[in-house]
C-alpha cells in the first residue's frame, strides 16, 4: 500500500499557488513533467498527453513545466508551443524544479500516474515507444481496477 501524496505545489500560468492534490482530489491524474527546451517533450510527449486526454476522458491530464536555470517558462513561451495558441490541458509551472526533485525525475518528460486515492501508481521517464507502451499499460491497469473510470 502506497502512502498518499500530501502535496504537489506548483503555480498556475498567472503566478497563483496551486496544490494539485487539493485541486484534483479523488481523480486519477496523469501528470507530465516537461520543459519547452526538451524536443522529446514538445515533439512526442505533449501530443501523447493530449491523446491520453482524448482516450481517457475521466483521467485528468495536466502538464507541469519545470523551470531549470536559464530554461524558465513564461505564460507566453508555454502557450507558444501549441499551434492553436491555447493549452490543450491545464499546465502549471514548477518553480526551482521542486516537483521534479520531489518525484526524483530522471529527466524530462517524466510521467506521474496518480490513483484516485492520491497514491503514485507509476512513474515513467521518456517519450520513446517503450515509455509510451509502459504508460498505456499502466493506464489500462489503473482503469481496469476502476471500471467506472473508463467512461464519463
CATH of domain 9-149: 3.40.30.10
**Interatomic CA distance for residues 119 and 122, integer angstroms:** 9
Residue 41's CB is within 10 A of a number of other CB atoms, namely 25
In 3D space, the residue among 51, 32, 45, 27 whose CA is nearest the CA of residue 118 turns out to be 27
pLDDT value for 36? 92
- pTM recorded for the entire structure: 0.91
pLDDT band at 81 (very low <50, low <70, confident <90, very high): confident
Average confidence (pLDDT) over 56-60:
90
- pLDDT for 1 beyond 70: no
pLDDT tens figures, 4-43: 899 999 999 999 999 999 999 999 999 999 999 999 999 9
**Interatomic CA distance for residues 9 and 13, integer angstroms:** 13
Amino acid at each position: 500500500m502506497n502512502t498518499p501524496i500530501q502535496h504537489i505545489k506548483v503555480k498556475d500560468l498567472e503566478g497563483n499557488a496551486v496544490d494539485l492534490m487539493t485541486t484534483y482530489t479523488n481523480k486519477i491524474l496523469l501528470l507530465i513533467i516537461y520543459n519547452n527546451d526538451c524536443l522529446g517533450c514538445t515533439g512526442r510527449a505533449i501530443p501523447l498527453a493530449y491523446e491520453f486526454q482524448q482516450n481517457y476522458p475521466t483521467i485528468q491530464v495536466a502538464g507541469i513545466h519545470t523551470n531549470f536555470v536559464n530554461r524558465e517558462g513564461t505564460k507566453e513561451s508555454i502557450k507558444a508551443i501549441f499551434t492553436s495558441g491555447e493549452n490543450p490541458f491545464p499546465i502549471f509551472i514548477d518553480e526551482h524544479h521542486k516537483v521534479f526533485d520531489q518525484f526524483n525525475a530522471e529527466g524530462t518528460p517524466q510521467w506521474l500516474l496518480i490513483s484516485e486515492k492520491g497514491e503514485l501508481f507509476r512513474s515513467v521517464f521518456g517519450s520513446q515507444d517503450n515509455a509510451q507502451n509502459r504508460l498505456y499499460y499502466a493506464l489500462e491497469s489503473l482503469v481496469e481496477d476502476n471500471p467506472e473510470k473508463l467512461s464519463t
